[in-house]
């Protein structure tokens, strides 16, 4: 594939945008969990009760940060197994859909809609056959 065709491939930008977003948010959640507790507190009470029956909210956020860093690495490293990439893309799509359904509309909804669309695009990319 020529350089021009590679640089015009939208997959590069989808992976870079979504992967770097997960790396940044995962790192920030891991390093500063108290800064993110307000977002978790917006979840429905039944979900918060379910989470806190197993772990503290701080521990939940630390786990969430590690998972997001893992997602970012998998998304950025396209040479990893396609099945793993597809699993992460589907999980990311579900995560963003749940955020939109459970948190509702707020000042960050536009961002979550864009990230959901990007994650779904990555599902489509990892699903198509390469010849």
pLDDT digits (tens, 9 = 90+) for 70-109: 999 999 998 999 999 999 999 999 999 999 999 878 777 8
* Count: domains in the chain: 1
Domain span at residue 9 reads 3-127
Q: Are 116 and 93 in contact (CB under 8 A)?
A: yes
106-123 average pLDDT score: 91
Tell me how far apart the alpha carbons of residues 114 and 86 are, in angstroms, rounded to a whole number: 19
Q: pLDDT per residue over 27-56, tens digit each?
A: 999 999 999 998 899 999 999 999 999 999
**φ, ψ dihedrals at 120, nearest 5°:** -65, -40
Q: Would you state the pLDDT for residue 128?
A: 83
How many alpha carbons lie under 13 Å from residue 111 in its C-beta half-sphere?
7
């Amino acid at each position: 594939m020529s350089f021009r065709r590679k640089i015009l491939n939208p997959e590069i930008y989808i992976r870079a945008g979504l992967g770097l977003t997960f790396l940044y948010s995962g790192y920030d959640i891991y390093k500063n969990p108290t800064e993110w507790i307000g977002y978790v507190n917006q979840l429905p009470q039944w979900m918060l009760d379910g989470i806190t029956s197993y772990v503290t909210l701080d521990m939940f956020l630390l786990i969430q940060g590690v998972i997001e860093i893992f997602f970012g690495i998998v998304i950025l490293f396209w040479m990893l197994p396609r099945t793993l990439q597809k699993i992460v893309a589907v999980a990311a799509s579900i995560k963003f859909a749940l955020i939109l359904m459970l948190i509702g509309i707020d000042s960050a909804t536009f961002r979550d809609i864009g990230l959901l669309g990007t994650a779904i695009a990555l599902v489509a990319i990892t699903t198509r056959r390469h010849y």
